[in-house]
Amino acid sequence: MEIKNSGKSSSSVSIREMVQIALLTALTYISVAFLNIEYVNNNVLHLGDSIIFIAAILFGRKHAALSGAFGMALFDLLSGAYAFWTPYTFVIKGVMGFIAGTIAFSGNAKGNNWIRNIIGMIAAGVWMVAGYFMAEAIITGNFAAPLVAVHGNIIQAVSGAVIAFALVTALRKTNYFNR
């Protein structure tokens, strides 16, 4: 990876992008670690997925994939209770951000097409539910145990999308992201 101060080469990451990704990573971690509600069967409802979706819509797939993967995996690693999920979360949340950001920026939409944004969040949510189902099947060695967590992951994906939709709408009204 080449580091540059400016330029738009696909093989380079500017200092500005590194700072944005680092801040989004921290925001993702904080949103999971401190803004969460644990409920039945060790499910956790948190704002981390909202940050991934916001990053995907406002910045694109690179920012969403990297900040989602590192921010969420960092939470799992530091939590103790969820540490064994770290490698799975890293891949699942990274791909989730990549999917949402790719669709949001497809067709030169640059995150400005709400239909693409919604489709991206739905596709990314489906991936997350399927990814955690498969991860838990690998961990437990069967396909029945993960069924208990599917509803919680669906609730997590839907709530993340709804909150992201509302926050992106508000952020777009500031015109900061419309430059």
**Of 54, 114, 67, 111, residue with least CA distance to 93:** 67
* Cβ burial 123-156 (10 Å sphere, 16+ → b, else e): ebbebbbebbbebbeeeeeeeeebeebeebbeeb
CA distance 58 to 55: 5
Q: 147-173 and 48-58 helices cross at what angle (nearest 10)?
A: 50
Domain locations in the chain as residue ranges: 24-178
- Residue 160: what pLDDT? 96
Is 51 within 8 Å of 10 (Cβ atoms)? Answer: no
Q: pLDDT means per 10 residues in the chain (179 residues)?
A: 50 86 97 86 84 97 98 94 94 98 95 95 98 96 91 94 95 78
- Residue 2: what pLDDT? 47
CB proximity list for 161: less than 8 A, separation 6 or greater = 49, 50, 53, 118, 121, 122, 125
**Of 89, 72, 78, residue with least CA distance to 29:** 72
Is 73 within 8 Å of 93 (Cβ atoms)? Answer: yes
- Residue 35: what pLDDT? 86
| Amino acid at position 132, single letter | Y
Instruction: Spell out the CATH class of 24-178.
Output: mainly alpha
**Of 173, 153, 148, residue with least CA distance to 48:** 153
pLDDT in tens, 91-135: 999 999 999 999 999 999 999 999 999 999 999 999 999 999 999
